[in-house]
Amino acid sequence: MFRGRPLIEYVVDAIQPAIDRIAIIGDNSGKFAYLGLPAHDDIISGIGPLGGLYTALEIAETEKIFVFACDMPGLNTGLIRYMSALEIGNNDAIVPLIDGFYEPLHAVYSKKCIDRVEKRISEGIRQVVSLIKEFTIREVAEKEITTYADPKMIFRNINFKKDIHDLQPSRTGDTAMHDHLKYFNDNAEKISSAGILSDELVEFYRNLFDYIDKYSDMYLNNPQLPLFRAEDLPINNNDHARSALSDESVAVMLIPGLAPLIDMVTAFNPGLNLKDIHHALETDTARMQDAMYAILDMDMERLERIARAHKTGTDEALFIIINWLKPLFISLREKNTTLIEDNDESNLCPFCGNRPDMAAIVMEKGGKRYLNCSLCGHRWPFKRIACAVCGIEDASQLEYFSSEGDTRYRLDVCGSCGGYMKTVSLQKFEEIDDFNLTVENILTAHLDSAAIKKGYKKP
C-alpha cells in the first residue's frame, strides 16, 4: 500500500490513457482480478522479471510490447506515449538510459527477441539488464525524458518499507495532471449529499472534467505542442513564448476541441446563443489569439469587448474561452515542467503568469501554503502571511472566515484589495499531492457565494 492504494493501481492509472491493451503478469495473478484486466501467471515461474518478460512476449499479439514494473508510482503518461510512438525498426528494444544505467522495466521490446530471452533463461541467466546488453537498443536519453518529468521520480521503485516514506515528489508542481475526472468522481457522493451542486451540475462538471482530461491527453501527445526555454517563463510576459503560441499549429490543435465544449455548455443551458462566438473563435485565427492573450494577460476589458462583439455575456465568454484553453496550458505545463522555478514571493503562477483560484495549507509542514493556478493547474508555494490576490503582507488587512461546522475550508480575505481566496487545510498524514485543487475549486462553489455576499471580489 502507498498513500492508501495498492502500488499497482498507480501504474495502471499512468498506463491506461496511453495504451489500449494492458495485461498483468505474475505468479498468483488471480489476486488482481478486481482491476478488470487480463492477468497471466508466469509461464516459467520463480525466475523474477525475466520470466515476466518472457511471458509477455509469448502472449503478445503485437510486434512490440511495453513492459513496466508494478512498483513505480511515479510513472509519467506523457513519457509512456512518447516511447510508445517511437519506431523500433530493426532494434530489439527501446530502453531509457539514465546516468549510464538502463531501465529495462520501463522499456519497449520487439516480439522477435523472444528466442534469445528463452535461450538465456535456459542458460540460467536471471537478470534482465545482462540480457539487454546483448540487444540492439534504441536508447532514450535523459534529455528526452526530462521533457516530461524528473527521471528520479519516474523510475524510482519501492523495494523496502522505508522507500514508501522516502518517495516524495521533487517539485510541488509535478503532480499527475490527468486526474480531474477521477478526483471529481471520488468526491461525487460527498457533493450530492451535501447539496453543494445539483445533480444536473454534478453531471455537467463530470462531463467538463472528462473533456479537460481527454484534450490534455491529446495535446500532450501532439508533436506540435510548443517547447519553451527556462527564460521564456512565465510565458505571459515573454515574446518568444507568445510567438510559439501564435504558430498556426497551435490553432490547428485547438479548433477541434471548441465544438464539443460549446455543445456541452448549450446542452446544459439551451437558452444560450453561442453561435457568434463559436464561429469567430473557430474561423478567425486573429480572434482566437486575441482571446488567448486576453486570458494570459488577465485583461477583463478585452474579454468584455470580445463578448459584446459576439453577442455573448462576459461570464459565458470567459467560461468558454478559459475551459477551451485550459487543456492546452495544462499540457504545456506538463511538457515543460522541468523548467519551472517556483518562487514563494510571487502570487502569480511561475509557469503561465495567471492568478491562483485555490489555496491549500499543509498543517503537518508547519502551515506551509500552496497556490493553484487557475489556468495551467501548476501548484507552487507561497508566503503564509500575504494576500494571494494582491500580495500585500500587512497582517492587519488580512483575516479569514470558516464555517462553524467545517473548519477544513475557509475564506482568506483582504481588506486592502477586497479580494478573497478559498483555502483547504490538510491535516496530519494528508499529502498535498492527494488533493486536486482545480477540482476542489468547483467543490467549494458555496464559499464563492458566501464571499461575494460579504462584499469580497472573486480573484
Give the confidence band of 152 by pLDDT, cuts at 50, 70, 90.
confident
The CB density around residue 165, as the number of other CB atoms within 10 Å, is 8
Amino acid found at 37 = L
Tell me the HSE value of 70 on the side-chain side, using a 13 A CA sphere: 18
Instruction: Summarize pLDDT for 430-457 with one digit per residue, the tens.
Output: 778 778 999 999 989 889 999 999 999 9
SS3 368: strand
402 DSSP β-pair partners: 410
Instruction: Summarize pLDDT for 325-345 with one digit per residue, the tens.
Output: 999 999 999 888 888 988 889
Distances in whole angstroms, Cα of residue 79 to Cα of each of 96, 150, 224: 10, 11, 15
Q: What is the pLDDT of residue 170?
A: 39
Q: What is the pLDDT of residue 168?
A: 44
Q: Rounded to an integer, what distance in angstroms lies between the CA atom of residue 214 and that of residue 81?
A: 14
Give the residue-averaged pLDDT of 405-420: 90
Instruction: Name the CA dihedral angle for 404, 406, 408, 411, rounded to a multiple of 10 degrees.
Output: -50
Q: pLDDT > 70: what percent of the chain?
A: 93
> DSSP for 42-77?
-SSTTSTHHHHHHHHHHH--SSEEEEE-SS-TT--H
Q: In the numeric block, which cell numbers belong to residue 42?
A: 508466469
Instruction: Summarize pLDDT for 34-79 with one digit per residue, the tens.
Output: 999 999 999 998 888 999 999 999 999 999 999 999 999 888 888 9
Q: pLDDT > 90: what percent of the chain?
A: 64
pLDDT at residue 169 is higher than 50: no
Query: Which has the higher per-residue pLDDT, 162 or 216?
Result: 216
pLDDT at residue 171 is higher than 60: no
Which domains does the chain carry?
7-166 (3.90.550.10), 180-339 (no CATH), 356-453 (no CATH)
398 DSSP β-pair partners: 414
Q: What is the mean pLDDT of the chain?
A: 89
Q: What is the pLDDT of residue 177?
A: 44
Query: Which has the higher per-residue pLDDT, 95 or 220?
Result: 95
Q: What is the pLDDT of residue 405?
A: 65
Radius of gyration of the chain (CA): 24
371 DSSP β-pair partners: 359, 380
- Cβ–Cβ under 8 Å, residues 207 and 264: yes
Least confident of 167-176, 203-212, 390-399, 437-446: 167-176
Least confident of 150-154, 165-169, 180-184: 165-169
